[in-house]
Chains A and B, each alone.
Chain A
């Protein structure tokens, strides 16, 4: 009888051992991480939970699919076909492309043109598209600006999946594509009941749930003044279920005759935005409720980070206050200025931690 008990115990241990070797169902430990090079950047998807493996590869598939629709270098993409079509000709595009074009137009109107997806010819003139940098003349820029403006492309009502544009207009959805990708991935995380994840697309981050130890994710904001340092931060945000997007002049730039030219073009001048800011971070909550119908927060953060960088500190904060009062959008900001200040809006002041080694003066505004 005792011998039988001992045998049963041994069997129980064997069962335990097998369980050790299997994929653990505990959301604290099951984790899948992949890196994907797409859309001109490195993306890291780190997903927890039972369906983590399925979710990371579903996310990668979506990234590849959207890249195929939105790429400006792939001649078969929706965007390339639209740009190549003669002026006024309606081009059939996918649902994703059409809704991105609608959002691009919406944010252009909201920001009075500070965000503009028709800047492609100007960016190309500076060499930011092909990495062949040059400083275009004023005359050249003025000529190109004739073809810039959100009213210069059309999204016909009643023909839901078409778009057309005026003569000489070129569309580039790169300014909101990564934000849109994070929105789509948030949908995948929701569908798969993912308990926690971090999704990083360089300047675009989505944190989902909390850390395995139950505390919020710690998100570092790159210090623009120490862009080359792997651990130089302007500050940290403690976030759960949120999008955070940074646009900074340090991300892409070139130097000529001692002058630095960065990639965030002001649609009003056709030149790199000279707004007194070095980076803008836009933070927005992503509520986990499929019925709340606030999809698109990732896209919104992406569009606004660019637009508010172009506007500069004063106008950006004015925009933030106006939107907060009208309750149209509910985002918060971390602005890093050229004169060594970090300005944090009060909605995230309690989750923001300064980096004591950065040398910045920190301010909270309301």
Chain B
């Protein structure tokens, strides 16, 4: 039996529109799902003062030195590719300076008197790194 194309099934402008909509939706879905990233993004330092996030510094390239102040104390922080160090602080405890350089996602430097927290997120996952540290 010869195939006869019904005029009704010939693609028209509406079909093109519907196909376009489907393609766009598929792309949007993909972006939404992949954009979530599973913690494999760039290593980033999140600085918060008194519980409020004030800055995000990506550590892909050297971001240099920055100064943060909280609760009357001042911290001088070095951002380098792959690591963050508090170089100088005028607090009495100096715990933040003693912490040294943090390099892995999940690690943080804390200045209790200044209520400043610098925490690393993203970067490659390290299977041997603990989820939580006591001490």
Q: Are A42 and B132 in contact (CB under 8 A)?
A: no
What DSSP secondary structure best describes chain B's contact surface? mixed
B44 to chain A, nearest CB (A): 15
CA distance A10 to B25 in the complex (A): 7
CA distance A229 to B109 in the complex (A): 11
State whether the Cβ of A246 lies closer than 8 Å to any Cβ in chain B: yes
Q: Are B119 and A20 in contact (CB under 8 A)?
A: no
What chain B residues lie within 8 Å of A251 (beta carbons)?
135
Q: Are B119 and A222 in contact (CB under 8 A)?
A: no
State whether the Cβ of A248 lies closer than 8 Å to any Cβ in chain B: yes
State whether the Cβ of A221 lies closer than 8 Å to any Cβ in chain B: yes
CA distance A44 to B32 in the complex (A): 28
Q: Are B99 and A230 in contact (CB under 8 A)?
A: yes
CA distance A236 to B129 in the complex (A): 10
CB-CB under 8 A for A229 and B100, given A219-B133, A220-B130, A222-B135: yes
Q: Are A20 and B32 in contact (CB under 8 A)?
A: yes
List residues of A (215-253) whose CB comes within 8 Å of B's CBs: 217-222, 224, 227-231, 233, 236, 244-246, 248, 250-251
Q: Which of A40, A227, A230, A246 contacts B107 (CB 8 A)?
A: A230
List residues of B (76-115) whose CB comes within 8 Å of A's CBs: 92-93, 98-104, 107-108, 110, 112, 115
Interface residues on B, range: 35 or more
Q: Which of B28, B107, B132 contacts A219 (CB 8 A)?
A: B132
CB-CB under 8 A for A221 and B99, given A10-B25, A21-B32: no
CB-CB under 8 A for A203 and B132, given A36-B51, A131-B93: no
B109 to chain A, nearest CB (A): 8
Q: Which of B14, B50, B92, B131 contacts A198 (CB 8 A)?
A: B131
Task: Give 26 A-B contacts (CB < 8 Å), ordered by A residue.
Answer: A6-B15, A10-B22, A13-B25, A13-B26, A17-B25, A20-B32, A35-B51, A35-B108, A36-B51, A41-B112, A131-B93, A198-B131, A198-B132, A200-B134, A202-B135, A218-B130, A222-B133, A224-B135, A228-B98, A230-B101, A231-B104, A231-B129, A245-B134, A248-B135, A251-B135, A279-B135
Which residues of B come within 8 Å of A, CB atoms? Answer: 9, 14-15, 18-19, 21-22, 25-26, 28-29, 32-33, 48, 50-51, 92-93, 98-104, 107-108, 110, 112, 115, 117, 119, 129-135
